[in-house]
Structures are given as structure tokens and as C-alpha cells.
Structure 1
Amino acid sequence: MTSLGTATAAPGEIDTGRLVVGETRDGGEFGLPVAVINGEQDGKTLYVQAASDGDELNGIGVIQRAVPRMDPTELAGTVVVVGIVNYHGFQIAKHRNPIDDTKMNRTYPGDPEGTSSERIAHATFGAAKEADMILDLHQGSTSRMLNEVRVRCGTRHRLHEECLTLAKVFGCGYVLDQKGPSGQLARVGPDEGIPTIDPELGGSVGWDDESIEYGVRGIFNVLRYYGFLDGEVTPEEQTRATGFDQYGSPSGGLVRFEKELGERVSRGETVFTVRDVFGTVKSEVSANGNGIFWRSRRLPQVATGEYVCSVATGIDSY
């Protein structure tokens, strides 16, 4: 038997339930939606979670489509899923946990006696650290963004190559290989000896079908490559970035981009202009160096100094 919260599955079975992590303001218990897919044969354990940022919904879309396709009678090993991590943020479609005004993915490994976010992190990490690999599904919130996978442990970490391989197997085509902030699950997992990646499945308001399908395909790539399911997976070459140049607006107005997501950018090329409401160019911003147009704001209006876009740097293939 394998259990997570109230979900318990014998070999060859699947079950869903709730992982109780605290009480709401009316004194009632609340729990995170969880699933256990227990393979008929022994094997590794994969942990998957989504929506640690409450407004990042594409990961939930991935889980909603992927779990019904997992047949435990064909599976070797176990898949453990937490469908929504940031319960409170999800309820009001906000990025941070409104109970403690905290970004959940900065609180791992958590604290059983801590804040709301720390308690949720502790409960979910209790399941994650029993796995052989971890997928923490994210998206670019409301930004426009490439589908990418982030390796956050740092290039000198003992598990860097294992995390990089997992990212390549997931296969979004783009990888950010840059050490992340403290408290990220993709930082803490490798410290516990568990390869962990952070797929950033595009950016949208609500669902984005293309990005969700990238995520579904990525999960099944992992399941096949690591022997959970039969089938061959040959990882394709990925474009890797090791950093970003971020650009703010030198003036207020409306942004017009000169590049599409994924396009190469050369030093000195115009990346965007800022125009007034009558179309007059107020500012023209050029690239500081070579890279790939990776991420941008969704709405065109900007104030002076406001974030506009990011160009990925340190580009290579692996």
C-alpha cells in the first residue's frame, strides 16, 4: 500500500484524496487534493506538484490530463501527485499565499510549526523527499514566456548532471540552468539527493493548451525514460541559457516589441520601442548582448522604469 493523506492505493490501483495541512479562518480543516498511482510492478517513485503559485494554472491542467492516462496496471513504480499546493492563493487566483503574504516556492523544506506557507511546504516536502525524482510544475504567471525547464541547483551541485538530464528528458526545448533562490523546491530537492526540475510551462492568464500539452508530454517522457512505463524516449537537443538580461522602460507609454519569443537577439539590435498614444516613438531600447528573446510583459502599457522583457544569455546546446 502507498498512501498520501487520505489517498491509499494498493499495487495496480489509483486513489485520490486530501492531504490535511491546517484550518481555515472558520476553524474547519482544509486539505490539498492528492493522488496516488501505485503501479502493479515495483519501481521508482515520481513526485509531481502544481500551483505552488496560486495563479499558475497550467500545471493543474497538466495533472488533469495526465493522471487519467496513467494506468496503474501498466506502471512499474509509483506516481504521487499534489494537484494544488497553494490552496489559499488558488482560491482567490493570487500568486502569493494571502494568509501570510508569502511566495510559497521560497519556503521549502518548510516548518511544521511555522507560518501557513511553511506548514504546507513541510507537508508536501514530506511526500516529495520520499521520491526518486521531483517535477514542480510552474508557469510564467501572467507574463508571455517560452515553455522552458529550470534547473535550479547550480552548476557545482553534486546532482547538477542528474537534474540537467531530467530537464532534457522532460523536453520543452529550452532550459534555464541557473541557481535559484533559497527555499525553492528545485533547490531543496537536490540537497536531499533527489533530482528536481521546475518546468515553466509558458505564460498565460488561465489555461494555455499548447503549454499544457508540453507538460503532459514531458511527464510521459519521464515515465518512459526512467522505466515507469514501456517505451523508448530519445531526449532531443535542448537550447540552454545560464542567465538573463532584464529590460525596464526608460519612459512611460505603450510597448511595441521588435522580436518574437524564441528569436535570436544580437547586441545593438532594437528589442522594443515605447510610443505615446499617437504613435510617436519616445524610447528605443537595444540589446546589451547576444541572446534569445525569452520573456515579456503581456500588457503594453508601462510606466518609467517598469519591467518590460528578458533576453536569455549564455546560450549553448546540450
Structure 2
Amino acid sequence: MTTTLGTASARPGEIDTGRLEVGETRDGHPFGLPVAVINGERSGKTLYMQAASDGDELNGVGVIQRVVPRLDPAEIAGTILIVGIVNYHAFQVAEHRNPVDDTKMNRAYPGNENGTSSERIAAATFEAATRADLILDLHQGSTSRMINEVRVRCGTRHRLHDECLELAKAFGCGYVLDQKGPDGQLARAAPNEGIPTVDPELGGCVGWDETSIRKGVEGVFNVLTHYGFLDGDVSLEPQTRAHGFEQFGAPNGGLVRFKQELGARVRSGDTLFEVTTPFGESKAEVTADSNGIFWRSRRLPQVATGEYVCSVATDINTY
């Protein structure tokens, strides 16, 4: 059976790429999102993947760029649908939010085909995503420094929570944030349609980071193998799961000097960071309020009073 997504069309055993038209630019010219269809020779499940719903989060694009050339339809059971760049306008100017309507795309789902620019893109990609049995929405921690994690955003009481956790575990970053997300996230909206969905958050950087991209490529192939798209077995290793964050701001302006490495276990009272003057004079030290994992931190050292500095993941267990 031929499978299409936008102008991409592939019969069993074929790969095709094309564009999913979603509107016009300010000069009246049509534009479309880059899409791919990988149609396996054998029947099976359908996986949907997308990247760059936030325009400056490029690690997911790097994952797709490396995954697609390695996919042979002759070895695949099922279909893979991919939108390589979701937030078209933000990607063009290397910004987080869609500059046309100043919207964070991952707050616009399930979208509105007659709505704003972001709502129309969300509606078009949501229609494609909800054709699938599983969804991977590839993200990163914007330009902050962050460990590689997978986010389960449907909430612990959702009927698909266990299925989403299994998908996160199959991806296998080693760390899972299991916390209900804000309205408008794809990983909140798609489970309501009965589709297990997760957000792999692949580190955080300016541009892209090869270590996080490699982790993402490994995760995609783990999912493809675990769910039967590819032959083989994947061992589901125990994951460290966090249920919340404590965030820390700067008590003074100055320069931040971190005392913990990303992924480090911290205990209540451990020093997280110090704020100094440009001459190295200490102005303040900030300590952890609870036991947890040093999960995320700002990239630039300079801070104003009250500005975000770092996050510690709390309520940790292994599953």
C-alpha cells in the first residue's frame, strides 16, 4: 500500500522525501515542511517522528539527518513518517519561538487549521502524527546545558501512562522526567488520541552537540527494534526517573561558578554554585534544598539578580 505525507509518497520497500505545505510566507510564496516516508517491505506499526518544533533546538534535526540514510526499507516492518523541521519560521532565523506570531510551537497542539501560523503548522503535523501507533517528538533543553533525558508528559493518571513509560524506557537515555506537561504539548495531546508519545530532550547547546545526537540516534534505533520495525532484541535497562524540579535563581548579580557537574547526585545542603564579582570575590553561595540530580544549568556565566541559574531533579527513583 502506498503511503503519502505531503508530496512524499512511497510504496512498500521505498523511501521518498518531499514537503508538507502549511501556508505562505510574507511575500505570498507557499512554503512546506521537509518530510520523509519510509515504507517497509513488510507490514507493521507506524512510527511518527518530528524535530525542531522549537526553532533553535537542532539536535533532533541532527538525529534525523543521521537516522534516515541508515534505514533500508527492505529490512523494515511497518512505516516511518518524519517531519524534519516543524517550526519553519523560527528555524530560518535560529529562534526558539515562531516569529510570525511569537508563539512557542509546542504549546499549540492539537492546532487549528484556520488559526494562527503556529496553530496551522500544529494542526498539519498533528494530523500526520495521529496516523501513527507511536510518536517521538525530538527536543533539547534549548540553549541551556542539560543531561540527555526522555520526558513523559501525559501525567501519571493518564490511561496511556504505562505505555508512554515503556516508550521512554525503550528509547533508553537513562534518565526520564515523568511529570505532566503544559497544555498544548504534542506529548500531552497525542496520548488523548490513544497514541503513546514522548519527548526525548537531547541535551542542550547552541547549534548541535554530537554526543547528544549519537544518544538520540541510538534511542531511535532502540525504539525501532523494541517495537518490531527492525529485527533484533533490545534490553530495557533500568532508568532513573524524576518527578519534579527545584529551580534556583541568582541571589546577586555577577558571574556564576558551578560546583556540580551535570548528572551529579547532590544532597540537601551541597553547594550548587557560587556568584562572584569580575575579580573573583565571592558574593553568594547557593545550596541544594533537597536530595536529587543536577539536571540543567544556564550556559552563560553572567547573571542579574533573580535570573535562572540551574535546576535539580527531585523525587528520584529507578524503574
TM-score category by the smaller chain?
over 0.9
Give the Å deviation of 1:204: 0.7
Cα distance in 1 for residues equivalent to 2:116 and 2:220: 31
Q: Confirm or deny that 1:71 pairs with 2:72.
A: yes
Q: Confirm or deny that 1:187 pairs with 2:188.
A: yes
Deviations 1:171-207 (A, max 9, x none): 0010000000000000001110000000000001101
Give the Å deviation of 1:242: 0.3
Aligned to 1:21: 22
Cα distance in 1 for residues equivalent to 2:240 and 2:299: 24
Q: Confirm or deny that 1:45 pairs with 2:35.
A: no
Aligned to 2:35: 34
Q: Secondary structure at the match of 1:242?
A: strand
Aligned to 2:203: 202
Aligned to 2:155: 154
Cα distance in 2 for residues equivalent to 1:278 and 1:61: 39
Cα distance in 2 for residues equivalent to 1:289 and 1:90: 38
Cα distance in 1 for residues equivalent to 2:296 and 2:213: 18
Gaps of 5+ in 1: none
Q: Secondary structure at the match of 1:212?
A: helix
Deviations 1:20-79 (A, max 9, x none): 000000001000000000000000000000000000000000000000101001100000
The letter of the residue matching 2:20 is: L
Name the TM-score, length of structure 1 as normaliser.
1.00
Give the Å deviation of 1:144: 0.4
Give the Å deviation of 1:264: 0.6
Q: Secondary structure at the match of 2:180?
A: coil
Aligned to 1:257: 258
Cα distance in 2 for residues equivalent to 1:250 and 1:53: 30
User: What value does the CA root-mean-square deviation take over the aligned residues?
Assistant: 0.4
Give the Å deviation of 1:269: 1.1
The letter of the residue matching 1:177 is: D
Identity %: 75
Give the Å deviation of 1:86: 0.1
Aligned length: 318
Aligned to 2:214: 213
Aligned to 1:222: 223
Aligned to 1:283: 284
Name the TM-score, length of structure 2 as normaliser.
0.99
Deviations 1:117-164 (A, max 9, x none): 000000000000010000000001110000000000000000000000
Cα distance in 2 for residues equivalent to 1:20 and 1:277: 51
Aligned to 1:310: 311
Q: Secondary structure at the match of 1:42?
A: strand
Matches within 5 A, 1:160-175: 160-175=161-176
Aligned to 1:9: 10
**Structure 1 stretches of at least 4 aligned residues deviating more than 3 Å after TM superposition:** none
The letter of the residue matching 2:304 is: A
Cα distance in 1 for residues equivalent to 2:42 and 2:271: 56
Cα distance in 1 for residues equivalent to 2:218 and 2:4: 26
Gaps of 5+ in 2: none
Give the Å deviation of 1:299: 0.6
Cα distance in 2 for residues equivalent to 1:59 and 1:91: 16
Aligned to 1:135: 136
Cα distance in 2 for residues equivalent to 1:222 and 1:306: 38
Q: Secondary structure at the match of 1:96?
A: coil
Q: Secondary structure at the match of 1:247?
A: strand
